[in-house]
Structure 1
Amino acid sequence: MTAAPPCPALPFYLGCPVWNCAGWVGEVFPPRTPRDKWLSWYTQTFNTVEGNSTFYALPSIESTQRWARQSADGFQFCFKFPREISHDCELENAEGLTETFLRVLQPLADANRLGPTFLQLGPAFGPRKFGALQRYLEGLPKHWKWAVELRHLDWFDQGDNEGRVNDLLSSLAIDKVLFDSRPLYQSPPDDDIEAKSQERKPKTPVRQTVTGKSPMLRIVGRNRVELTDSFFRQWAPIVAKWIRDGMIPYVFTHAPDDANAPALARRFLSILQQELPEYVLTIPRPPMPMQQLTLLDDI
């Protein structure tokens, strides 16, 4: 059997929040590609993906085994902890749920397809629960990669709370998720999809704090993708410095409409290229069918 092509060779990881969007014809997969081939094509275009679906429901082990087989060499899945653990239990008495979650992800870890698994804490999980956070993180397997996203505003006090959680993450070599929704909120929404996105996405303060070796940046753009460029220009030299310092960042580009996420990723990559001229930063486009020749074409 012919081996699948590898994922793009980049000095960092770049991806989208999903791998299965029907609007990606020409961006990620060719026309008429069967749905069960979308993941394979995605992993030949990008080298990582957010796994947000696990926040809502766990896949079967058979599914993660299949995803391991379908993904390209070098690809990394970054799954989100289930909301039962992060929001319902708030990390307390969640040992059984955590064991089940990790068991489901084990086939991907065995296949070297597992990137940082990230714990997104809810807006109600504040510094008063620091002890629960510390106990939970200290109990996670040390040989897996982890990242934590904080949303309660008191974690961003530029004082004791922020310093304490940063020290905790640094001591455990756990990466901090850096979330930037400024592009989304820079102006009133242009359409209903953007309006709904502005109702749901948080406005947490933007940080550049690095606590591990793979800082994770999640940036929420606009459906008019060019409106995000000025924010990409702010992040590009930061990401370039991380790379030059020997880190391996993960960057995920979100759009209110998932159909625009790959275009945002390509725009970020082109802007980052200006900061890293020593690298060739490209991601492929899928082959498109040849246009049928007309009689005039033959003349």
Structure 2
Amino acid sequence: MLPYYLGCPSWSAPSWRGVVYPQAAPAGEFLAHYASVFNAVEGNTTFYAQPSADTVARWATAMPAGFRFCAKLPRTVSHSADLREQLAASDDFRRLLSPLGARVAPFWLQLPASFTPQRLAELRAFIDHWGDGNLAVEVRHPAFFVRAEEERALNRLLLERGIERICLDSRGLFSCTSQATAVLDAQSKKPRLPPRPTAFSQAPQLRFVGHPELAANDPFMAPWLDKVAAWIEEGRMPYVFLHTSDNQLAPQLARRFHQQLSERLPGLPALAQPVSEPEVEQLGLL
């Protein structure tokens, strides 16, 4: 059992065979193998489309009890004109994922850059309707990152209600000068905002979007490694998710983060290695 949650943006990349899954693993087994290595995952798929009840039932079978699925609320909710008009839809989404029980923790409300400080009343009403602290919020409007009254008002709202503000750090990605298509595409989509290392609850949330060259991330990860180690020592249970531009190397970056965290917290359990297929004995001719 790790004293923190560690994962990637998804569990279903075929290129992770040999890194997270056995080489011959069928796609239907990816989640079970992923959950044997990492104990959390970002629920990005639910942002774009809601799963069927049958799909949720399959996830419930594959996810261990201690696993955490940070399900993003659908963009039809988070990117609506008024959050107060989406309260029933958010209730429906929670009911859909209810078979996962405590494994959905926390739900993520990822707000667009168009969500301005003038809309905080909507967020307040949404949080009050939500009714518990099993929610984390990501904001992207620049006004929430200038240490002025707009940001302080957001932080007060979240802190008073025990709602975590998701920490997004994309400095590693934007430090990359490669003209590779995957890098340029990621840089065009990810927000370029200063990191905000907040801990408004017992479960701080970090999303780290890294450079495609793993070692180039070390200077950007170092302060987070110190922060995560301190959170753990304070008795908190942080969540850490590692991305790369196309996420092909996300598992390797997650392992690198964990290895360097182990240097700060001696005795931290090692991550499991993917299960390998048994070797087939080659019989010679007699």
* Shift, 1:257, TM fit: 1.8
8 Å CA contact 1:269, 1:281 repeated in 2: no
Structure 1 runs not aligned, ≥5 long: 1-8
Q: C-alpha separation between the residues in 2 aligned to 1:179 and 1:273?
A: 22
Look up the match of 1:168: 157
* Shift, 1:187, TM fit: 2.9
SS of residue in 2 equivalent to 1:93:
helix
8 Å CA contact 1:14, 1:252 repeated in 2: yes
Alignment of 1:180-199 (within 5 A): 180-199=169-188
Q: C-alpha separation between the residues in 1 aligned to 2:48 and 2:114?
A: 18
Q: C-alpha separation between the residues in 2 aligned to 1:267 and 1:220?
A: 14
Alignment of 1:1-299 (within 5 A): 9-109=1-101, 112-142=102-132, 145-277=134-266, 279-289=267-277
Distance 1:59 1:294, change over 3 A: closer
Q: C-alpha separation between the residues in 1 aligned to 2:7 and 2:64?
A: 14
* Shift, 1:72, TM fit: 2.0
Which residue identity does 1:289 align to in structure 2? E
> When the two structures are aligned, how many residues end up with a matched partner?
284
8 Å CA contact 2:173, 2:212 repeated in 1: no
Which residue identity does 2:272 align to in structure 1? P
Which residue identity does 1:34 align to in structure 2? P
Q: C-alpha separation between the residues in 2 aligned to 1:294 and 1:105?
A: 47
8 Å CA contact 1:223, 1:260 repeated in 2: yes
Structure 2 runs not aligned, ≥5 long: none
* Shift, 1:189, TM fit: 2.2
SS of residue in 2 equivalent to 1:88:
coil
8 Å CA contact 1:80, 1:119 repeated in 2: yes
* Shift, 1:207, TM fit: 1.0
Moved over 3 A (4+): 289-295
Q: C-alpha separation between the residues in 1 aligned to 2:253 and 2:179?
A: 17
Q: Show CA shifts across 1:228-251 (max 9, x none).
A: 122111210100000111111000
Q: Show CA shifts across 1:194-246 (max 9, x none).
A: 11111111111111121111010000012222211221112101000001111
CA RMSD of aligned residues (A): 1.7
SS of residue in 1 equivalent to 2:268:
coil
SS of residue in 1 equivalent to 2:168:
strand
Q: Show CA shifts across 1:25-56 (max 9, x none).
A: 11111011111111101111100000011111
Which residue identity does 2:25 align to in structure 1? T
> TM-score under structure 1 normalisation?
0.91
